[in-house]
Amino acid sequence: MVGQSKSSINLKGSIGLKAIILVVIVALAHQFYIMEFPDDEEMTIATFSYSISSLVAGIAAFVVAKRYWGSEVFGKTYLSLAIAFFFIVAGDLTYIYYDWFTDEAPYPSIADVFFLLFYPFAAFHLVKNIKYFKKDLSWARKIGVPILAGMFVAFFAFMSIDLIEEEPFDFYFGLLFVLASAVILALAILGAAVFQDSVLGQAWLLLAGGIFIFTVADVWYYYLEVVGEYTGEHWVNTLWVLGNALIIFALYKHKKTI
């Protein structure tokens, strides 16, 4: 770590309750906006809210990577996180292109390839940081990752199993994304546990919270696509923005902490 040894880190500061409340207020305002001004007929700012919030998260991660590029782990891992969010931006813009400018369905499409590329880069960020700062993970924590991921996958499968005969492609395609999201969520929670007694504990708690909301939104979205109930005004869109906002705040806390 830049400027500090791992043994000299102490927990300090506050998570920033006021900032979190502000993030929630902004997310609620976003939901009310998309309900008041749906983009079924024309593009609105809500059309690009997912892209914009993901882009800001990617830029924030890149700033952290640039600041700590000389460190043993932070530079590469936060660059990987930045790339992950840039793939989200590419995927969402591609989705918008198919949705608005072609007669082809935006889901499934090439946009999903970009969305899928988010997961290996995000996983690299989480795994490398966890392994570097906690090389001797307990068996309970090692087993907890696949168990937690399995719970999310099982929930999705249980909720949509009735459609497996009617829409088998949508079911298995959605299951792939749900599995990837669940693994990222489990790793983020593990990271929060690893860093809980360090100066980075607050930043990782926020990061885990943001990824948790992001993952819930992913699982919900693919379920909605399977049952054909997804709309541009659905609450799942605001959950993505809320998750991104918490991740941005976590990256800000990370940059200011060390």
DSSP 182-224: HHHHHHHHHHHHHTTTSTTHHHHHHHHHHHHHHHHHHHHHHHH
- Say yes or no to pLDDT of 62 above 80: yes
Closest CA to 253 of 213, 209, 214, 187: 209
Average of pLDDT values for 171-186?
89
At 41 the pLDDT is: 66
Q: How many CA atoms lie within 13 A of 184 on its CB side?
A: 29
Q: Whole-model pTM?
A: 0.86
At 98 the pLDDT is: 94
CA distance 75 to 125: 10
- Say yes or no to pLDDT of 72 above 90: no
- Say yes or no to pLDDT of 9 above 60: no
| Tens-place pLDDT, residues 81-132 | 999 999 999 999 999 999 999 999 898 899 999 999 999 999 999 999 888 8
- Say yes or no to pLDDT of 181 above 70: yes
CA distance 183 to 153: 10
- Say yes or no to pLDDT of 3 above 70: no
- Say yes or no to pLDDT of 12 above 60: no
Q: How many CA atoms lie within 13 A of 186 on its CB side?
A: 20
Q: What share of the chain is helix, strand, coil (3-state, %, to 5)?
A: 75, 0, 25
| Tens-place pLDDT, residues 26-51 | 889 989 988 888 766 678 888 899 99
